[in-house]
Amino acid sequence: MKSRRPRVVARIAACTGILFFGSILQLAVAQDSAKLPYMNPSLAPEQRAADLVHRMTLAEKASQMYNNSAAVPRLNVPAYQWWSEALHGVINQGVTEYPEPIGLAATFDEPGIHLMAKQIGIEGRIKHVQNAREGHTGIGGGLDFWAPNLNIFRDPRWGRGQETYGEDPFLTGRMGVAYVTGMQGDDPRYYLTIATPKHYAVHSGPEPTRHFADVDVSKHDEVDTYEPGFRAAVVEGKAGSVMCAYNAINGAPACASPFLLQDQLRGKWGFQGYVVSDCDAVRDIAANHRYRPTQPQGVAIAVIRGMDNECVDSVSRLGEPAEKAYIDAVQQGYLPESTLDTALIRLFTARMKLGMFDPPEMVPYTKIDEKELDSAEHRALARKLANEAMVLLKNDGLLPLKPGIKKIAVIGPLADQTRPLIGNYAGQPTHIVSVLEGLKAEFPNATITYVAGTQFLHADGNPVPDNLLTTPDGKPGLKAEYSESMGRPGRTANPTVLASRTETNVKLTDSNLPAEVAGKKSIGVHWTGFITSPETGDFLVGVRGVGFAMLTVDDKRVAMMFSGAEAGAGVGRVHLEKGQKAALSILYGSMSGKPRTELIWAKVNNAPSPEAIAAAKNADAMIAVVGITSALEGEQMPVTEPGFLGGDRTSIDLPEPEEALVEAVAATGKPLAVVLINGSALAVNWINAHANAVLEAWYPGEEGGAAIAETLSGKNNPAGRLPLTFYTGVSQLPNFEDYSMETRTYRYFKGKPLYPFGYGLSYTTFQYSGLTLPAQAVAAGQPVVADVTVTNTGKVAGDEAVELYLKFPDVKGAPQIALRGFQRIHLESGASQKLYFELKDRDLGMVTEDGNPIVAAGDYTLVIGGGQPDTGAPGVSGRFHIDGQLALPE
C-alpha cells in the first residue's frame, strides 16, 4: 500500500497556498477600499454610508444590526460596540461622576448642565481612545452614549425616576437640550459623541412588568406630558440617536410603534438620526408582547417602523446568533432588504459623523489632551453642581451651623458610605467624598462623633462559616465552575466551563484561581450548593468584593453587587429555618484587575443602637444622614426589604429602621438637622414636623459629601428647587400602573403636598418687583416678553432660581399651572438684577383634551418668583391677553 503522506503534504501545501493567496487578496481589497467612495471624506456622510452598505452581503448587513456590530475585514470596517453609558458621567474607570439627574434638575441651571455634558463628552472621547489602545472593544468603549433619560417622573414609586429630570415636561426639555448639545459638541462636521435620549416615550414603570406591559394613554397625555422633552431634544437639540422603550403603548410595542416612530419622530419632528432599542426590547415584540408570532417577524416590523440598531442583552437571541433573525426576516419575505439598507445607512452615517472612517488629523476631537480626564476643572464642576442641587426644605434657624457648636454627632447609615452618593448608572471615580469626610474637612475645630445607629443599609456582614455549606451532591463546601467572563453574570448564555472543583466557601482572590483561568483579563465563576442555618430567623445574605455578583437563594434573586476598584457589597434579606437546607447560587464576573469576592451574612437587627442615642446626648447638635440608595430603587432588580418591589417602591415613606433611628435621637432634645440621600420623593412627615432643619441632597455625585458639608456650614447658600412633588404618602397617588396624568404632578394634582414642585429655601431673602407685561393684546403666534427685577434683601450673598409659571385660559386640557421659564442667578447682599423672559409660541402653548397643541385665545396669568404661587415663595404676577388661536405642530 502506497504511503498517503505525500498526498496529505500536497494538500496542506495547496491549502497553505490558497490561504496565503487569500490573505494577499484580502489585504489588497482592504487597501483598495481606501479608494472607494465610502472612504472619501469629501463626500457627504449619507452618500458614503450608502456606498458602503450597498457593497455588503446580507450576512454582513445583518451583523451590523445589533449593538455588538461585527468587523467586515474585506471592506476595512472595524467592529464597533454601540452600547456606552453616560447618564451623569461616563460609565468607565477613573472618570468624573456628577450628581444624579434628579439632582441636576434641582439646580435649575441650564448652562451648567450644558457644560457638564460637554465635559462628559470629552471624557467619553478620551476613554474611547484609551480603550481602543488597550484592545477593549466591549460595552462602554464606544462614542454613542445612551443618555439622557427624558422620561417623565410621573410617580415617585418608579425606581428609575432618579435618572430623569423630574416630573415637568418643560424643565425636562430644557435640561435635555442642554445635555444633548453639550455631549454632541459644536463642530459643524463631526460629533464629539452622540447623545441618545431615552426611553422613547411613554415609559416610567413598574419595573417588573416592563418587558410585557401595554400602557393605555390618551393622545392628550402623550403630546402634553410624555413627548415634549424628546421633541425638544430632537427638534432643538438635534440628537443623533433616540432609544425606544420596552413597553407597548396603546397596543404597539414602543420599538414598533407607528405613532411614536413614524408619525411623530420621523414624520412631524423630522428626525434624521438612528433609533436604538432598549436591551431585548426587540426580542420582546414577539416573545413577550406577542405583537408578531416569530422573531424574524418581530425584528422585521421593528425595522420597518424605524428601529435601526437592536440592543441584545447577551451574545445570542433565544439560543441563536443575534443576526440570524434579520437574515431570516429578509429571506422569508418579511423585511425588504432595501428597508434593512435604510437602517444601516443611518448607522454608518452616524459612524462617519463620529470620524471613524476619516484620517485622525481631520477630526478635531482626536486631539483632546488625556489630562482632561477626571481633571481638577471637571471635579470643580461636579462640586459646583452638587452645591447647586442642594434643596433646603426646612430651617428654623439651626442652619447654617453656628461657630459655637463644638460637638457634632453624625448619625445614620449613609454618612460614611460613598457608593450611594453616585447613584444609578454611574462609573468609577478616583475618589468620592463621603458626608463624614466632608464634615470633618468643613468643621476642623469641632469634635465629630459618628455612629451608624442601625444595621439597615449598611451592607456589613461576616463570612459565612464553612461548616454551613454543602455541595449539590452533599459534600462539604460549594461546587465552583470557572469560565472566561463576557461581562455581567447571566448575560452570557451557557458559558464554556474551563475548570470545575469543590471549594470550602466563596473566598475568591487572584491567588487561588484554577490554572485554567489564572492570568485571564476577566473571569466568571458560578458557585452552587446549599446553606443550612443553625437557627431560625431573618438574615442578610450577600457578597462582598470587586466586580459583578448575583446571589440567588431557593431560586429567588436576593442580592446583586457591582463594584469597581474599591470593594463593595450587596446583601438581601432572607428567612432561614434551623436545620433546613436553602439552595445557593452565586454568579460572579470580574470587571478588571484582580478578582475578589466572598460570601457574607448577618442576622437582621434594625433597632436603633444605644451608641447613637448616647452620641446624641453628648452633642451640641446632631446631623442625621438617612434615606435610600440605588440598591433599593433602580432598574429592575431583586430587593427584599419591606416597602420595595423589583426596583420600585411600594411605600414612599422613609424606611422604618431609619424613621425609628431619627425619632430616637430626636427624643434627646438636641438640635437636629436631617440630610436626605435619595433619588425620589420621601414622605418625611414626622421629620418635617420635628427636625430643626431638613436638607435634600439627592445622590449628589463624587463631590457630594463636600457639598453637603459646605451647605450645612453656610459656605454654600442653598438655592436648589424640587423638580418633583413630595407627597404626604401613597394615599395621595393614583394606581402606579395608571399612566393618565389626571391628579398627577403639580400640573394636575389638586391636593396639598408635603413639599411642592419648585420649592426650596435659602439663607437669604429675595424680593421681586417691576414686572412688565404687554399692555395690549398679543396676536397668537407672537412672543410675549416679561421683565422683572430681583433683589437680594438679605444679609448674605446667594443664588436664586427664578421660576416663571403660566395659568391658561379656561380650555379643556389645560393644566392648572405650568412652568414655562427659569433662570438661575447670583446676587450679592443688597444687589438687584433685571431679568428678561421671551415666551415663544411653544412656551405659551397648551394641549386640548383631544391632543391638539395650540396657543389658546384668552386671558393668561403670569407669575415670576422663587417657587409656585401660593406656596410662600416670593414673587410677582400679572396678566396678558392673546387674540386668536394658533394651531402648533405636534
- Catalytic residue IDs: 278, 633
Quote the distance between the C-alpha of residue 225 and its chain's center: 20
Contact 158, 204 (CB under 8 A): yes
Query: Measuring CA to CA, how many Å separate 294 from each of 251, 297, 299, 338?
Result: 17, 5, 9, 21
466/477 Cα distance (integer angstroms): 7
Give Cα separations from 536 to 89, 130, 467, 571, 607 (angstroms): 44, 52, 17, 18, 19
- Beta-carbon count within 10 A of 15 CB: 10
Residue 797 host element (H or E) = none
Determine contact, residues 724/201, Cβ cutoff 8 Å.
no
Give the residues across from 419 on adjacent strands: none
Kindly provide the b/e burial profile for residues 770-809, where b requires at least 16 CB atoms within 10 angstroms of the residue's own CB: ebebeeeebebebebebebebbbebeeebbbbbbbbbbbe
Q: Is 587 helix (H, G, I), strand (E, B) or coil?
A: strand
Q: What nine digits make up the cell of 636?
A: 429592575
Burial of 204 (0-12, 13-18, 19+ CB in 10 A): buried
User: Dihedral of CA 353/356/358/363: which sign?
Assistant: positive
Cβ neighbours of residue 417 closer than 8 Å, sequence gap 6 or more:
434, 457, 458
> Is residue 832 exposed (0-12), middle (13-18) or buried (19+ Cβ within 10 Å)?
middle
Q: Is residue 400 within 8 Å of 713, Cβ to Cβ?
A: yes
- 3 state SS of 615: helix
Closest alpha carbon to 79 in 64, 61, 97: 64
Distance between CA atoms of 614 and 585, rounded to whole angstroms? 41
| DSSP bridge partners of 800 | 825
Q: Are 848 and 854 in contact (CB under 8 A)?
A: yes
DSSP conformation letters of 47-88: HHHHHHHTTS-HHHHHTTSBSEEPPBGGGTBPPEE--B--SS
Q: Ramachandran region of residue 329, left (φ > 0), alpha (ψ -120 to 50) or beta?
A: alpha
Tell me the chain's radius of gyration from C-alpha atoms: 29
Q: Among residues 264, 254, 239, which one has the least CA distance to residue 302? A: 254
Beta strands in 690-814 (DSSP E): 693-696, 766-772, 778-779, 784-792, 798-807
| Phi, psi dihedral angles at 731 (to 5 degrees) | -65, -20
**Taken in order 166, 660, 610, 393, is the CA torsion positive or negative?**
positive
User: CA-to-CA distance for 542 and 561, rounded, in angstroms?
Assistant: 8
- Residue 360 sits at φ, ψ, to 5 deg, of -55, -35
Residue 766 identity: F
Q: Give the residue from 150, 146, 154, 144 showing the smallest Cα distance to 231.
A: 150
List the grid coordinates of 521: 483579563
User: CA-to-CA distance for 428 and 546, rounded, in angstroms?
Assistant: 12
Contact status, residue 87 vs residue 147, Cβ threshold 8 Å: yes
Q: What would the grid cell of residue 367 be?
A: 486631539
The C-alpha cell at 358 is 476619516
